[in-house]
């Protein structure tokens, strides 16, 4: 590992030298790519330098232990430096893990009501609100693409983009089936019902990231429906795209013009086609054991929200929190941090 770290440090110094050259920005795209690489390597190099300092502090303390008057103090310094070196070694192992190339991307989130009729639609709305509040806490922006309400204020489907650096690195753990146990507003007898909603999280892809043949796309236009003021049902601005080879259907009705809605649809279509391609590539790798954390499949139950007991349980890591109100108000960091840590541990185990 130390040889690999030295190679990383050498590459970082090389990039630093290049960035100081007068013609570095002559090719903006190349410059941006090299700066991203430099920024990615910087935390690894800083931890490596700290590791080397801790190693040197151990050697210095060990050398001074021969002096009887300084032995006790040097022993303390030696043990402190040793503990720091061990901590940094563990940190460097994680930093050297291959990064998900999509971690810095925006995300497209799709929420669908599942089992449970109107209660599942109301729960889907609760999830949309939860993610909106989490995004606000993270300083991210929500861009609505498709939002289909029910008469009671539930959501049949909600598609939206979360724009923010690193959004995918945090939100990717939310894909899967979310289960709720609570007394529905429509229940007069006070009985607890179980309902579900599905969440899919995709890294947002641009059209240039995925090859899409225009001849493979059928475009349909229709009038927007649902809440939206005077614009609703006045013009056929909503757009539905059908990708004929795959059968994928995407729709957007939140913008006022066909052009804007079509642009959003194309971004969603590119992301869905990318997801299909990635799943195909993963299935071709024989003997690969699927991580129990990672990005969950859409049909995998990942979390239960039990309102009578005030608890939220994530089944992938066995984490239970008794603060359901805070979680539903977007306090997701404790859950996501636990999932990210488990994901890193799984990758470390597979890398050994």
* pLDDT value at residue 137: 96
Choice between 167 and 102, residue whose per-residue pLDDT is larger: 167
Model pLDDT for residues 21-78, shown as the tens digit of each residue = 999 999 888 998 899 889 889 999 999 999 999 999 999 999 898 888 888 899 999 9
Summarize the confidence of residues 237-257 as an average pLDDT: 87
> What CA–CA distance (Å, rounded) separates 154 from 118?
7
**Closest CA relative to residue 222, chosen from 241, 205, 244, 239:** 239
Taking the whole predicted model, whether its pTM rises above 0.75 is answered as no
Residue 107: CB atoms within 10 A of its CB come to 27
Q: 130 or 67: whose pLDDT is higher?
A: 130
pLDDT value of position 286: 39
- What's the pLDDT at 308? 94
Which residues does residue 241 pair with via DSSP β-bridges, in sequence order?
Answer: 219, 250
Secondary structure letter of residue 234 according to DSSP:
T
* DSSP, res 119: H
Q: Which burial class, exposed, middle or buried, applies to 285 when counting CB atoms under 10 A from its CB (0-12, 13-18, 19+)?
A: exposed
Domains, the chain: 2-95 (1.20.58), 107-205+296-351 (3.30.70.1660), 208-284 (3.30.160.20)
User: Average pLDDT in the 249-268 region?
Assistant: 86
* Model confidence at 280: pLDDT above 80: no
Mind listing the pLDDT tens digit for each residue in 282-336?
555 433 334 444 444 456 789 999 999 999 999 999 999 999 999 999 999 999 9
Average pLDDT over residues 178-197: 85
Confidence of residue 145 (pLDDT cuts 50, 70, 90): confident
Specify the pLDDT at position 116.
86
- pLDDT, position 69: 85
The gap from C-alpha 103 to its chain's centroid, in whole angstroms, comes to: 6
pLDDT value at position 229? 42
Beta strands in 44-175 (DSSP E): 107-113, 141-149, 155-163
Tokens encoding 258: 């066909």
- The highest-confidence range among 131-145, 185-199, 265-279, by mean pLDDT, is 131-145
Per-residue model confidence as pLDDT tens digits over 13-22: 999 999 999 9
What average pLDDT does this structure show over 253-259?
A: 82
pLDDT score of 299: 61
How far is the C-alpha of 253 from the C-alpha of 159, rounded, in Å? 10
Percent of the chain residues topping a pLDDT of 70: 89
Angstrom distance (rounded) from CA 291 to CA 350: 10
CA atoms of 90 and 78, how far apart (whole Å): 19
Give pLDDT, residue 191: 87
What confidence tier does 225 reach under pLDDT thresholds 50, 70, 90?
low
């Amino acid at each position: 590992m130390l040889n690999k770290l030295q190679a990383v440090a050498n590459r970082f110094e090389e990039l630093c030298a290049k960035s100081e050259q007068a013609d570095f920005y002559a090719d903006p795209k190349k410059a941006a790519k090299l700066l991203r690489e430099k920024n990615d390597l910087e935390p690894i190099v800083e931890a490596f330098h700290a590791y080397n300092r801790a190693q040197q502090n151990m050697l210095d303390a060990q050398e001074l232990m021969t002096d009887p008057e300084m032995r006790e103090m040097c022993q303390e310094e030696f043990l402190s430096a040793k503990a720091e070196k061990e901590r940094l070694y563990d940190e460097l192992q994680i930093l050297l893990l291959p990064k998900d190339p999509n971690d810095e991307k925006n995300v497209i989130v799709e929420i669908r009501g599942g089992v449970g009729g109107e209660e599942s639609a109301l729960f889907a709305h609760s999830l949309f609100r939860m993610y909106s509040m989490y995004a606000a806490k993270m300083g991210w922006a929500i861009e609505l693409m498709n939002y289909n309400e029910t008469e009671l204020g539930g959501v049949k489907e909600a598609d939206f983009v979360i724009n923010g650096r690193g959004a995918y690195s945090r939100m990717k753990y939310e894909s899967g089936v979310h289960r709720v146990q609570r007394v529905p507003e429509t229940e007069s007898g006070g009985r607890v019902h179980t309902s579900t909603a599905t969440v899919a999280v995709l890294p947002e892809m641009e059209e240039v990231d995925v090859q899409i043949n225009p001849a493979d796309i059928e475009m349909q236009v229709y009038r927007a429906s649902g809440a939206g003021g005077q614009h609703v049902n006045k013009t056929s601005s909503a757009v539905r795209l059908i990708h004929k080879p795959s059968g994928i259907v995407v729709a957007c009705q939140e913008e006022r013009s066909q052009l804007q809605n079509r642009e959003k649809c194309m971004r969603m279509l590119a992301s869905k086609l990318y997801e299909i391609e990635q799943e195909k590539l993963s299935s071709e790798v024989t003997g690969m054991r699927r991580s129990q954390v990672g990005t969950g499949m859409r049909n995998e139950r990942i979390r239960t929200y039990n309102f009578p007991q005030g608890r939220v349980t994530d089944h992938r890591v066995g984490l239970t929190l008794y603060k359901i109100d805070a979680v539903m108000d977007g306090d997701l960091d404790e859950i996501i941090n636990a999932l990210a840590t488990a994901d890193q541990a799984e990758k470390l185990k597979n890398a050994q």
